Amino acid sequence: MLTITFLLVSVICVTFSVRANDWLTLKINGVEGSLERNVKAHLGALPESSVQRRAFIFNAEDNIEAAMHSMGYYHSRVSQNVINNEKRAWVLNLDIDAGKPTLISWVDIQVKGEMRNDPIFEKWLSQLKVRPGDRLNHGVYEDVKAQLLTLALARGYFDGKFDQAEIAVNRDFNTAKISLYYDSGKRYHIGKVSFTGSNLEPQILEELVPFKYDAPYSTGNLAQLNRQLLDTGYFSNIKVLPLVDQVEGIQVPVRVELSPRPNHSIELGLGADIGNTVDNSLEPRVRVTWRTPQINKYGHSQETTAEWAPDKPKFLTTYTIPLTHPLDDQLKIRMGMLRDKYGVTQVYNSEDRDFKNTGQLESSKMLFAVIRQQRLQSKWLFNYSAEIMRENYTQSGVDYDPRFVLFGTSLSKTTRGDNSLDPKSGFFQFYSLEYADPSLGSEVRLARLQTKFKWINTFFDKHRIVSRLDMAANLTSEGSLANIPPSLRYFAGGDQSIRGYSYNELGPSIDSVNDEGEIIREVVGGRYLMVGSLEYQYYVTPTWRVATFVDAGNAFDVNQIELVTSVGAGIHWISPIGPVKLDVGIGLNETDTISRPWRIHITMGAEL
């Protein structure tokens, strides 16, 4: 029985049958794969009348010969047999003997003119996949010609033409020579760039032009201009139009047509955090964002966000002023009021001889910050800032209300292997330093150091590694720790830290006694942070992958160092707006305040 099945499958593989209609059933034997598809394409649609049927059968052999020639088979033979059924569809049997293929013996591509020394042309030429010894394919030849013409036009060689473009076939020896001789002529340059449809100061628009006047023409330059204009957020529609018909000498003028965004936009967001609190409750969220993309002709903009969640309301507004460059040099003025929760608070139950969760460390914060953000020529993002903040919180039964004036600077850089939302490789690095001093208006002296790294690489197309490392330290005196507010301390846990644990629930704890004589244990955060992660991802399909990971580290203090580790797995969907990840993390350690947990983490967005 197994042998019969195998033979039936073999026959099906070598015999192709087009679905029958009322007039003709077509059966093709002897070819498969790309040859089979090409024959089908040349034969065309099945007939729908007796007249069309006669024409289809009459022209079948010629059409098959043309299909075989286009794929490099010049010695093919076709045998056809027609079964005339009076009351049913006729049957056309086609047996094709492809014969020996024609192989390419020589590929001669020559370019003269300015394009000859263009490094982009040299790169294209080095990546061509047509080589001597390949089977001749006229479609591939036409594709190479089209690529060369497209490249020439994209690089500004508008006068280019082929001096020779041919395939010389020697049917006796089954060989072919490809000759492509292209004269590119001179390369045109980009002339004056003019803008219409915007009331911004001309100097702001001119700063967004990423190339100099009279730069060599390339569609890459024009695409970069389009991206720069899009990234400002000022415009809803952008058209960058090279005016090739208005060339002056060798300069091509460029007209940019702009359509401003609406003066105001309001965005409403509804959501919930599930299992992201110490009591695993459902926490609804409502967010309203108001944006004004362009306030005046100088390009000022503002974004204001108000968010409501139980016990965690937030309000933040940022006013942005372009300085020497609309994108690469900005002054940001930020004001905000927010309430947040940290760690875990527990009370000792003498009957159960165990600690029970009663809440978290709560704080209310007001801030005002001035930040200058610059993108350097080396692609580093450089920030320096001054921030005034005041934070209220109660710790160990004592109320605190410290004020800080933080002066800070940071450097960061992101390198991507590609521009997709799911890059195959990349590296992110971040370094920051903040300083506060009583002589400058702060409660205590404090130096904050932070560094973050993330590395991504893909091996053999389907195997992807993602690793990250976060380290931080608060340098201050021992007696000043309680006066450092929770928002400036370090905690661990959550989908961007140690999965399997709730957000910010890990860190050093302290014990105290409240007014009722109960023992209170609070996770209050640490002076230091070290968290690392290693994740392996495998692409099952281009849009789905599975992952497994291990996260480790913690926030700690000099006298409280406790390594916490979690492992887990997940499934990721590479959506059009970025990866959507569902990960399950399992904590391998119990701490003084947390039993061995597990968590489901759902996240969305690019990893770099």
412 is a domain residue: yes
Q: Residue 488's pLDDT is what?
A: 95
* Total Cβ atoms within 10 A of residue 181: 15
pLDDT tens digits along 431-482? 999 999 999 999 999 999 999 999 999 998 899 999 999 999 999 988 888 8
Q: Residue 353's pLDDT is what?
A: 73
Query: Among 43, 25, 18, 16, which Cα is nearest to 85's?
Result: 25
Which stretch of 30-34, 208-212, 350-354, 542-546 has the lowest confidence by average pLDDT? 350-354
pLDDT over 70 (residue 9): no
CA separation for the pair 291, 304 (Å, rounded)? 6
490 is a domain residue: yes
Q: Residue 272's pLDDT is what?
A: 67
Q: Residue 274's pLDDT is what?
A: 58
269 is a domain residue: yes
**Cross-strand bridge partners of residue 266:** 290
Could you tell me if 72 and 198 lie in one domain? no
* Total Cβ atoms within 10 A of residue 134: 16
Place of tokens 């309001």: 266
pLDDT tens digits along 289-317? 999 999 999 999 999 999 998 878 999 99
pLDDT over 70 (residue 279): no
Could you tell me if 207 and 126 lie in one domain? no
pLDDT tens digits along 104-122? 999 999 999 999 999 999 9
pLDDT over 80 (residue 197): yes
pLDDT over 80 (residue 579): yes
Residue 177 sits in a domain whose CATH number is 3.10.20.310
pLDDT over 70 (residue 4): no
Q: Residue 11's pLDDT is what?
A: 35
Where residue 277 falls among pLDDT bands split at 50, 70, 90? low
Q: Residue 418's pLDDT is what?
A: 86
Give the helix/strand (H/E) hosting 126: helix 119-126
Q: Mean pLDDT throughout 369-386? A: 95
Q: Residue 108's pLDDT is what?
A: 94
Q: Mean pLDDT throughout 274-299? A: 80
Residue 269 sits in a domain whose CATH number is 2.40.160.50
Look at 285 and 235; give whichever has higher pLDDT. 235
The phi-psi region of residue 283 (left if phi > 0; otherwise alpha if psi is between -120 and 50; otherwise beta) is beta
pLDDT tens digits along 230-245? 999 999 999 999 999 9
Could you tell me if 405 and 521 lie in one domain? yes
For 7-160, where are the E strands, in sequence order? 15-18, 24-29, 77-83, 90-97, 103-112
11 is a domain residue: no
Q: Which long-range contacts (CB under 8 A, 24 or more apart) does 63-66 make?
A: 64/39, 64/94, 64/96, 66/42
520 is a domain residue: yes
**Cross-strand bridge partners of residue 458:** 464
Look at 118 and 420; give whichever has higher pLDDT. 118
Q: Strands 251-260, 329-349: parallel, antiparallel or unpaired by DSSP?
A: unpaired
CB distance 539 to 549 below 8 Å: no
Q: Residue 252's pLDDT is what?
A: 95
Domain end (from 183, 202, 234): 183
Could you tell me if 551 and 580 lie in one domain? yes
Where residue 1 falls among pLDDT bands split at 50, 70, 90? very low
CA separation for the pair 175, 4 (Å, rounded)? 42
Q: Residue 6's pLDDT is what?
A: 32
Total tally of structural domains belonging to the chain: 4
Which stretch of 104-113, 149-158, 518-527 has the lowest confidence by average pLDDT? 518-527
294 is a domain residue: yes
Note the pTM of the prediction, 2 decimals: 0.80
Q: Mean pLDDT throughout 390-400? A: 92
Could you tell me if 216 and 342 lie in one domain? no
516 is a domain residue: yes
Exposure pattern of 271-293 as b/e (b: 16+ CB <10 Å)?
eebebbbbeeeebeeeeeeebbb
Could you tell me if 417 and 550 lie in one domain? yes
Look at 375 and 606; give whichever has higher pLDDT. 375
pLDDT over 90 (residue 156): yes
Could you tell me if 164 and 201 lie in one domain? no
Could you tell me if 363 and 417 lie in one domain? yes
pLDDT over 90 (residue 336): yes
Q: Residue 281's pLDDT is what?
A: 61
Q: Residue 21's pLDDT is what?
A: 60
Q: Residue 606's pLDDT is what?
A: 83
Could you tell me if 166 and 253 lie in one domain? no
Look at 3 and 528; give whichever has higher pLDDT. 528
- Residue 8, amino acid: L
Q: Residue 12's pLDDT is what?
A: 34
Domain end (from 97, 127, 144): 97
17 is a domain residue: no
Q: Residue 102's pLDDT is what?
A: 94
**Percentage of residues of the chain with pLDDT beyond 90:** 71
CA separation for the pair 134, 130 (Å, rounded)? 7
Could you tell me if 224 and 314 lie in one domain? no
**DSSP per-residue codes, 134-162:** SBP-HHHHHHHHHHHHHHHHHTT-TT-EE
Its domain, for residue 110, covers 103-183
Q: Mean pLDDT throughout 121-135? A: 92
Q: Mean pLDDT throughout 524-536? A: 95
Domain end (from 225, 244, 260): 260
Could you tell me if 395 and 508 lie in one domain? yes
For 215, 331, 385, the CA distances from 446, given in Å and listed in that order, are 50, 25, 16
Place of tokens 């306030």: 295
Average pLDDT, the chain: 89
Could you tell me if 450 and 545 lie in one domain? yes
pLDDT over 60 (residue 502): yes
For 22, 106, 176, 405, 460, the CA distances from 169, given in Å and listed in that order, are 42, 11, 4, 80, 39
- Enter the tokens of residue 470: 């976060």
